[in-house]
Amino acid sequence: MISVVSTVESVPRGTDTQSPSLYQRIRKVLTRDLLVTLALGQILSLLICAIGLTSKYLADDFHANTPVFQSFLNYILLFLVYTTTLAVRQGEGNLLAILKQRWWKYMILGLIDIEANYLVLKAYQYTTLSSVQLLDCFVIPVVLLLSWFFLLVRYKAVHFVGAGLCLLGIGCMVGADILLGRQQGLGEQKLFGDLLVLGGATLYGISNVCEEFIVKNLSRVEFLGMMGLFGSFFSGIQLAIMEHKELLKVPWDWQIGFLYVGFSAFMFGLYSFMPVVMKRTSATSVNLSLLTADLYSLFCGLFLFQYKFSGLYLLSFFIIILGLVLYSSSSTYVAQDPRVYKQFRNTGSQPTNNNPPPLSPGVVEPSVTYTSLDPEPVDELPVRVA
């Protein structure tokens, strides 16, 4: 038996090593993948900004308060595009095969998605715009907790710091609204409106985490097709019960029709594009990116609605972007198989074996993977445990 012993000669302490410059450190953080991720998130924010602007024109200029009907149009588009795509598929991805396996799960998810949209839109009638913007951020801790317990995502300190900065940016924006007197939507039941926002944010968080799991493990087309099927069905029922009288009061003309078409197109684009971004990143990252949507709406309002400008708006925007960069600069840890923890605990008491026996056919190897918006191939390589 031949043993080979290798030694590593340490570098003398006196040897000078050149530290990386500030430019090199910034280049290491602001990689191409991170910049692409930030850009995709801001596209989603711009879509939400467009949705908000069309809704504001419908409600304020034409007195068309029809949130259920607007959502119904989006679900119909999803049904026509994605549900029909599932219907013509063959094999396990066929619509009937999916319904046989997990129809009740998608039915519950469709109801959650519908009511999340309805609760937040309804809250504008009872509480202030500032309260909606601030309390809607409750979706961030909801997504963090659900991702931790159900998706087994493990965060680092930098992720919590980044998320905290994003929320600080929203607080700065709300403070600017209060200083400028933009208290829109005050009603006699402000507490009820605040509870509606919290309920809608909670449902949004549940829907987003479920969406992340589906698009990463099943299919984006399957998720959107099921949302189109159950969303159009239940929103149609809700429309017939709650909004048919409001719909008859709408003074239909080409301008209102154009706004409805625009709203539906932006909403359809948001629903279609969000799973693409979420598959690349995560539900938490997407929701942090969407925090800038209110700022884009404010910037548009400076020209369209003669809003007053405040330097706090720009400050809040840069704080949110800084928080996004911090959150996206480091990877999150995902334990895919709980058995791996037992493997790691037992490695210290077992003899080292340089040539482990191969796994039996059909046995899945437990693993730990690192998912990141900015891959770090040197510091955090995937770990395989036999």
Range name among 57-66, 102-111, 127-136 with the lowest pLDDT average: 127-136
| The model's pTM | 0.76
pLDDT range class, residue 61, cuts 50, 70, 90: confident
pLDDT of residue 372: 41
Inform me whether the pLDDT recorded for 118 exceeds 70.
Answer: yes
Please tell me the predicted confidence (pLDDT) of residue 377. 44
Query: What are the start-end ranges of the E strands in the chain?
Result: 153-154, 332-335, 367-371, 383-384
Q: What pLDDT sits at residue 133?
A: 73
Contact 326, 155 (CB under 8 A): no
Using a 10 angstrom Cβ sphere, with 0-12 exposed, 13-18 middle and 19 or more buried, the burial of residue 173 is buried
Check: CB of residue 284 under 8 Å from CB of residue 255: no
